[in-house]
Amino acid sequence: MYDSHHHPLIVQSDLAVLLDESKPNAQAAREKLVQFAETVKRAGSVHTFKITALTLWNAAAAGMAAEDVIQCLKQFGRYELPFQAEASIKRLMGRYGRLSLISEAGKLYLQGEPEVLGQLAGHASVGSFVKHRENPDRWELEAGCRGSFKQELTRLGYPVIDRAGFHLGEELQVQLRGQTLGNRHFSLRDYQREAVDRFYQEEAVHGGCGVVVLPCGAGKTVVGIAALARLGRATLILTSNNTSVRQWRDELLDKTTLTSEEIGQYGGALKQVRPVTIATYQILTHRKSKDSAFSHMKLFSERDWGLIIYDEVHLLPAPVFRMTAELQATRRLGLTATLVREDGCAEDVYSLIGPKQYDMQWKTAEAGSYIASVSCTEIRVPLTKEKEQQYHEATARSKLRLAAENPGKIPVVRELLQTHADKPTLIIGQYLNQLHELAHELQAPLLTGEIPQHERQVLYERFKAGEIKVLIVSKVANFAVDLPDASVAIQLSGSFGSRQEEAQRIGRLLRPKQGDNSAWFYSLVTERTKETEFAVKRQVFMLEQGYPYDRRSSGIDPSSGWEAVNR
């Protein structure tokens, strides 16, 4: 008989869950756990997960029931499931589906069980949204409050299902090329088709709004394009930077019957508003001063949009959230590789964009060869002797920068470049002085925000063509940079403990490779400094996805040259 003491999960009464990787079935438990919990931290072989109201509601939206969650925790739990934990799961998931918004004759109503509406009535913040309480199970709401009311209910712990419907928007004649012309080898992968089906589902509870989560390199853009083609309505696409704007335009021209005259780019010198318009979050949030109005938010109303696509939805800035709250009658699709938000606004994504409609685990995509197989390694590098005393005397903020810019990392970079001499390599860092120094040392091109856009494009093209084997990049390469041939990434430094950034940087490697479908990610971390603590935090999301980090030490005095990394 299987000994329960070898089970990998320890469930606490506050819904924290410890996963012991050293126990049998740990991987099977992880695969189940990530469907309704999020990773918080890791200490040695033990990962701490947290089950929250939001993770449970996303699980419920995907079809899971409270009993499914409880059964998983009991199946893999080392000890008996605490009564408080079981009760909390039943209570939180039990609220899902008991409230809904509907629209009748142009009026917005909240419907729900009298018991639940009675509980809501006790919250003063709810009263401002209610126009008339028709009866115990139906309230008429104030006009125009659809988004902000959903935000407030989510904040109070009461998820509401939005059945108020969507307006169609301006009609657009568009089809996918592979399906109509037959002159290209493009077709949707099964999981992309399933993601679009789940988003589109006309008669379903959440059809027409929600988030699709796919690993970097697995074709999120294609999912957005296929959804656009399925709906056939004017579409506003919002993304993270100008490089991504051009990528979306190129992909639309390549994979759909849209013409260049039907696709507008809104940003920089171009302010084109066309049936499909692509803009950046930065242009939408631009204003002359902090007290001025946002100059370009009018874009949301310049056409009768039938669909808004939020690319990299985990980056959505607060002003765009506020505008989205007013656009709840327009279909909304969020695309991301991770729903992790460092600012705590995941609830706003849920309430204003919609629940998670589709989520493919990174290891699942890797097993299907849809993305490259990535090996993650953290290399600990000691401070140089001349920097050690300076570090101990520095302020907390200066300590972080001194550790990040540790000169001892440069010989490690050189050795890694020798190890992977035949592989196209990105070197990514946070601090420009460090990057300029390294570019000079290696005689390698450097791509930063200081570089004009057209020059960046030339570097991208030369790198993809194999003319450049090593490209040094700043934070501009974190998001939506199309570098499909990168096989190695060396991270010199990052934004403190950003799980989001770590995932995006590793994502630069994930596009499938010809031949050996492998890639390598190295994170250089200064030993015995605050940088090691932040490194542990940064790695949490990838660990949740099943990517262990092989930790190594450079094993050298960095002042004396390089010695082989301990293996």
How many residues belong to the chain?
567
In a domain, 170, yes or no: no
Q: Say if CB 19 and CB 77 are below 8 A apart.
A: no
Count the neighbouring beta carbons within 10 Å of the beta carbon of residue 83: 9
State the distance between the two ends of the chain, measured CA to CA, in whole angstroms: 38
Rounded to an integer, the average pLDDT of 210-229 is 94
Both 467 and 440 in one domain: the answer is yes
pLDDT at 340 (0 to 100)? 78
Both 148 and 181 in one domain: the answer is no
Q: What is the H or E stretch that residue 131 is in?
A: strand 130-135
Q: Quick one: CA torsion of 307, 311, 313, 317, rounded to 10 degrees?
A: -90
How many structural domains is the chain composed of?
A: 4
Rounded to an integer, the average pLDDT of 373-388 is 91
Residue among 509, 512, 514, 501 nearest 541 (CA):
501
Both 223 and 86 in one domain: the answer is no
pLDDT at 3 (0 to 100)? 54
Find the range with the poorest average confidence among 57-71, 161-175, 507-521.
507-521
Percentage of the chain lying above the pLDDT 90 cut: 61
Both 543 and 467 in one domain: the answer is yes
Q: Is the pLDDT of residue 475 over 70?
A: yes
In CATH, what number is assigned to the domain containing residue 282?
3.40.50.300
Rounded to an integer, the average pLDDT of 78-106 is 95
Both 512 and 374 in one domain: the answer is yes
Q: Is the pLDDT of residue 350 over 90?
A: yes
Q: Say if CB 266 and CB 275 are below 8 A apart.
A: no
Domain of 20 in residue numbering reads as 4-94
Q: Is the pLDDT of residue 105 over 80?
A: yes
In a domain, 167, yes or no: no
Rounded to an integer, the average pLDDT of 27-34 is 91
pLDDT 10s digits, 112-137: 999 999 999 999 999 999 999 989 99
In a domain, 34, yes or no: yes
Residue among 276, 231, 214 nearest 251 (CA):
276
Q: Is the pLDDT of residue 111 over 90?
A: yes
Both 301 and 387 in one domain: the answer is no
In a domain, 320, yes or no: yes
Band the pLDDT of 41: cuts 50, 70, 90.
confident
Where among 318, 335, 360 does a domain terminate?
A: 360
Both 531 and 548 in one domain: the answer is yes
Where among 53, 69, 94 does a domain terminate?
A: 94
In CATH, what number is assigned to the domain containing residue 136?
3.30.70
Coil/strand/helix, residue 548: coil
Both 140 and 189 in one domain: the answer is no
| 132 torsion bin: left (phi>0), alpha (psi -120 to 50), beta (else) | beta
pLDDT at 483 (0 to 100)? 55
Where among 75, 94, 113 does a domain terminate?
A: 94
In a domain, 171, yes or no: no
pLDDT 10s digits, 286-298: 887 777 888 889 9
What is the pTM (predicted TM-score) of this model?
A: 0.88
pLDDT at 565 (0 to 100)? 34
Both 216 and 128 in one domain: the answer is no
Rounded to an integer, the average pLDDT of 199-216 is 81
Rounded to an integer, the average pLDDT of 492-519 is 84
pLDDT at 183 (0 to 100)? 47
Both 329 and 243 in one domain: the answer is yes
Q: Quick one: CA torsion of 74, 79, 81, 85, rounded to 10 degrees?
A: -120
In a domain, 169, yes or no: no
Percentage of the chain lying above the pLDDT 70 cut: 93
Beta-ladder partners of 17: 11, 49
pLDDT at 287 (0 to 100)? 83
pLDDT at 555 (0 to 100)? 57
In a domain, 36, yes or no: yes
In a domain, 172, yes or no: no
Both 132 and 64 in one domain: the answer is no
pLDDT 10s digits, 302-343: 999 999 999 999 888 888 998 999 999 999 999 998 887 777
What does the radius of gyration of the chain's CA atoms come to, in whole angstroms?
25
Band the pLDDT of 495: cuts 50, 70, 90.
confident
Both 200 and 282 in one domain: the answer is yes
